[in-house]
A and B are shown apart, each in its own frame.
Chain A
Amino acid sequence: MTQLIERLSDGLTNGFVYALIALALVVVFKASSTVNFAQAEMALFTTYVAWWMTTRGISIWLALLAACVVGFIIGAAIERTLVRPAEKRGEMPTLLILVALFTAINAIDGLIWGLEYHSMDGLFPAGLDDYVSVASARIYYEDIGVWAAAIIALAVCFMVINKTRLGLLMRAAADNPASAALSGINVGKVYTFGWGSAAVIGSIAGILIAPISPHQLSMATMFPVLIYGSAAAIIGGLNSLGGAVVGGLTLGLAESLITGYVGFIGPQLHQTTALAVMVIVLLVRPTGIFGSRRLERV
């Protein structure tokens, strides 16, 4: 029982971070119909920025805010200067540019901040005694903090998208760009904003995961997050915001339970489980669990 609760707690923590990255991927996919392979590396860059600020004595919360601002600018700039021109030449050039960005940003991080591991302050108390006991299992404040932060971030996203004028414009531009433009919406501007917002979500995910990642803050921090996050987005259906969250949490819990209870998988093989789950879901439902084909009637 104790082990189960601790496993679930671990799984939820990772799951929420995967859900955030998956959500960022879905937001971008809805805007540009492409999977942003560089999403997690963009997040790593802004996480480094936040870490660097904390080493200069700035509070981590202020650093989080700065990372979000930097993230928004980078995301918007990438859409405007790289993705939009590439889109005119088709999906494949766009995809290649994003794969190139993935490696380029990673290398730039290494050049600026070095190859060593940095330990990063978390947003929440992380002492040895900072936990609550539930049926003799320890649930650390760190984990509870990640859940709370992720839930707040997700709630804000869903509210903006479903309840605000800006969200209405985003949904319209994603649904039918040509028709949205004919209704007076500047679709390009909406896409730029979508990319910026996705990078903000990514920045939050990066700053949540870096302090508790086995890789700490290093060039490898975001690799598993990207694998699980993109698997989560695909499982959820790539164009479903709710699906991204369900996919992220499912994978986080599956990863944690499988490594905990299935002996032969252990810590080495666990990333494969994400891919196996993804393959199985896609075999049964090619559009993902919550994904939809376009509904059209004439």
Chain B
Amino acid sequence: MSLLSVRGLSAGYGAAPVIEDIDLDVRAGEITVILGANGAGKTTTMRALSGEIKVSGSIEFDGTQIANLRPDQIARRGMRVVPQGRGTLTSLSVRDNLRVGASARTDGDIERDITSWTDRFPALGRRIDQPAGNLSGGEQQMLALARALISRPQLLLCDEPSLGLAPVIVRELFAFLREIQESLGTAMLLVEQNANLALNLATDVYLLEVGRTVAQGSADDFINNDAIRRAYLGM
């Protein structure tokens, strides 16, 4: 069953659309990845889905139409984004960053969840009352993930989570995403340039080129299809 179902999505920043007529499905509880080179429109797709830019076409999330809602409305419906650049609230403490992530929740367990996230990421726990701007890039990426996940989303969007991180941290990060998907059943839509890692993590794959989807299939198809690998992934 599709948790997110996108049909004929076009979006851009001026007169000419950056992405055109994109169809895309994310199944509940599964990890889907969008691959593509620089300028293929991956980030624009993310911004279109999260409500940051105006779109035409249909975006159905969990059975309701969310095209052209505001980002905060979409976020409160259970779709959270880890934006490129991580969106750290630099002047706020690590704890307050997590509280902001949980601000749409109305239950009383928020402080307990903060503790469990800082247990999961001890680096965040050690600096819980420091400004989040003091964290390293890798730690900020963990904070961004925790800030999104503490809202208990149904769908997590990650825009190039590996960008600017050391390879060892990137592997840790992808292992963590797998762990979250398995333990919490959170569906994920990833945009990634690192095709190797992404194909190992995902079940469904879309390949984007100059604003259009040029191939789609299961991750296994992509890994086993020499033509696609050579033509698009340089592997």
* A contact residues vs B (CB 8 Å cutoff): 165, 168-169, 171-172, 175-176, 178-187, 292, 294-298
Contact = CB atoms under 8 A, between A and B. Distances in A.
21 contacts: A168-B96, A169-B103, A171-B91, A172-B89, A172-B100, A172-B103, A176-B89, A178-B52, A178-B71, A181-B71, A182-B80, A182-B81, A183-B104, A184-B72, A184-B75, A186-B70, A186-B72, A295-B91, A296-B90, A297-B135, A298-B164
Contacts of B29: none
Given A169-B103, A178-B87, 7 more contacts: A171-B89, A172-B103, A181-B52, A182-B50, A182-B83, A182-B87, A295-B91
B88 interface: yes
Contacts of A298: 85, 137, 164
Contacts of B80: 182-183
B139 to A, nearest CB: 9
Contacts of B96: 168, 171-172
Contacts, number: 88
A186 B69 CA distance: 12
Interface in B20-38: none
A183 B103 contact: yes
A171 B92 contact: yes
B118 interface: no
Contacts of A171: 89, 91-92, 96
A175 B103 contact: no
B76 interface: yes
A179 B83 contact: yes
A181 B53 CA distance: 13
Interface string B131-145: 101111100100000
B87 A185 contact: no
A176 B103 contact: no
Contacts of A295: 90-91, 131, 133-134
Most chain A beta carbons < 10 A, residue from B52, B81, B92, B164: B92
A178 B92 CA distance: 15
Contacts of A169: 100, 103
Contacts of B100: 168-169, 172, 180, 183, 185
A292 B70 contact: no
B212 interface: no
B70 A180 contact: no
B81 A297 contact: no
A69 B80 CA distance: 37
B99 A184 contact: no
B92 A297 contact: no
B42 interface: no
B100 to A, nearest CB: 4
B10 interface: no
B90 A168 contact: no
Contacts of A181: 52, 70-72, 75
A183 B148 CA distance: 7
Contacts of B88: 176, 179
A183 B88 CA distance: 11
B151 interface: yes
Interface in B156-215: 164
Given A171-B96, A296-B133, A298-B137, A185 B103 contact: yes
A184 B153 CA distance: 11
B89 to A, nearest CB: 4
A168 B114 CA distance: 15
Nearest to B82: A182
Interface in B61-83: 70-72, 75-76, 80-81, 83
Nearest to A174: B91
Given A168-B99, A181-B70, A183-B151, A292 B75 contact: no
B12 interface: no
